Amino acid sequence: MPVPEFIVALRERVGTDLLWLSGVSAVVRNDRGEVLLVRRADNNQWALVSGILEPGEQPAEGLRREIEEETGVVATVDTLTGVWTLPPIEYPNGDRAQYLDLCFLATYVSGEARVNDDESLEVGWFAPDALPSPMMERSRVRLDRALTHGGRVWFATGDDSTGDTSTGGQDGDAGRPARDQVLATLRVGDREVVVRRAREADLRAIVHLLADDRLGATREDEGDLTAYRRGLAAIDADPNQLLVVLDDAGQVVGTLQLSFIPGISHGGAWRAQVEGVRIASDRRGSGLGGRLMEWVVQESRRRGCRMVQLTTNKSRTDAHRFYERLGFVGSHEGYKLQLGTGD
């Protein structure tokens, strides 16, 4: 589809100045649970259907129009899953734009998925655990968020601008400043290491850390990151969940998940639960773990928690001594019941 006429008219007045535009994107599902994707002509990557709203156009109507124009599929728009402002972008001709993006879940009604305009090279249905490659990373993030949508719309706050931008259409592949957010800088010896929110690009390193011991090797899969992407999307969608990494000059050398749990006992106290603490094997004993846990305690206090709690496998005797040195007390016996995933 050519550049919308209203943008052409605006460019005659403002030249290449920054335009503020409204965009929509769709996670369209059929009755087999597959999702509709297009392989874009501008970058040869697979992505969600997306587009620009016409002036005065209702978002749901505009999205239905975009889906049918690009793929020949008729769909109903069901629910909003995400809202954010994307970073400014510059097109090859010098035009600049910034988009407000609204991402929706939609359901297939009729039509045969096909290339229906000149924006796409291919169109197809794909199972969420068998997505095509190469796929635009930001479209993958939107898809994960939509498929884990539990009725709560994800929205950006502050400088968060997670999303897709590109030089063609409204979808693309850019960085995610909010998930790169530095939470703290830790000095360990003569080095400074930052604690920051984990992003999808960190997943392979995180899974490697989780798998890098006798217990983790039996339960983690470093080859297939699909389930881990869904997990990260769910964590990102919950303000009481935080997955962090220790970043040493671009190298992930540690990780943990921190959950903030409201409660009734202890006078309605909040508590912080620490899970999945890992330090790279070649950095253990350097003081990184202790400094990271000190940050956990500080952050938990800042969030108003009355206690920090964790569990550690009975066989991890070195870990027991580590936590006891930090002041943690083994005051309770922990029990777990493993639930099958079903057949």
Give tens-digit pLDDT for 133-151. 888 877 887 888 788 776 7
Structure tokens at 294: 């000190």
228 in the same domain as 93: no
144 in the same domain as 221: no
- Its sign, for the CA torsion 231, 232, 236, 239, is positive
142 in the same domain as 189: no
85 in the same domain as 131: yes
39 located within any domain: yes
139 in the same domain as 41: yes
144 in the same domain as 231: no
298 located within any domain: yes
Residue 16: domain span: 5-155
3-state secondary structure of 28: strand
Q: The domain spanning residue 292 has which CATH number?
A: 3.40.630.30
Q: Which residues pair with 50 in a beta bridge?
A: 25
99 in the same domain as 194: no
pLDDT of residue 64: 96
pLDDT of residue 180: 42
162 located within any domain: no
pLDDT of residue 341: 60
pLDDT of residue 308: 96
87 located within any domain: yes
pLDDT of residue 219: 87
163 located within any domain: no
Structure tokens at 167: 């030089």
C-alpha angle 301/302/303, rounded to 5°?
A: 90
Start-end of H helices in 238-316: 265-268, 288-302
Helix (H) or strand (E) holding 126: strand 120-126
Structure tokens at 29: 């599902």
Instruction: Give, rounded to a whole angstrom, the gap between the first and last alpha carbons of the chain.
Output: 45
195 in the same domain as 147: no
C-alpha angle 247/315/312, rounded to 5°?
A: 50
Q: Give per-residue pLDDT as tens, 201-243.
A: 889 999 999 998 888 888 898 888 989 999 998 898 888 999 9
pLDDT of residue 29: 95
Residues of the chain with pLDDT under 70: 1-2, 150, 156-181, 341-343
| Closest C-alpha to 293, from 182, 184, 181, 178 | 184
172 located within any domain: no
Helix (H) or strand (E) holding 232: helix 226-237
pLDDT of residue 2: 66
- Its sign, for the CA torsion 233, 239, 243, 244, is positive
Please give the model's pTM, rounded to 2 decimal places: 0.51
Cα distance between residue 339 and residue 342, in whole Å = 9
310 in the same domain as 189: yes
145 in the same domain as 12: yes
Q: How many domains does the chain have?
A: 2
341 located within any domain: no
185 in the same domain as 149: no
Q: The domain spanning residue 43 has which CATH number?
A: 3.90.79.10
pLDDT of residue 157: 56
Q: Which residue is associated with the tokens 């083994």?
A: 330
230 located within any domain: yes
66 in the same domain as 125: yes
